[in-house]
Amino acid sequence: MPEGEEFYLAPIPLGYYRYPDLLNGSLQIEHLVEINEAMSYEAENRRRLQEAQRPNG
């Protein structure tokens, strides 16, 4: 299981869920894993897009 506050808190400012959702039990660890995976995919896609848009030279 992932550790650290970043795993739990990083999705909040991005609008994936609200802090009270962590406290009231409406989220399960599986949800948090899926959200963090989606964030990783989005970041990788942004990185690839920026790389593709760079001029060659």
Q: What is the pLDDT of residues 3-47, one digit of tens each?
A: 688 999 999 999 999 999 999 999 999 999 999 999 999 999 999
Does residue 1 carry a pLDDT above 90? no
pTM for this model (two decimals) = 0.78
In the chain, domain spans = 5-53
Q: Examine the pLDDT at 52 and tell me if it is beyond 70.
A: yes
- The tokens for 30 are 């599986």
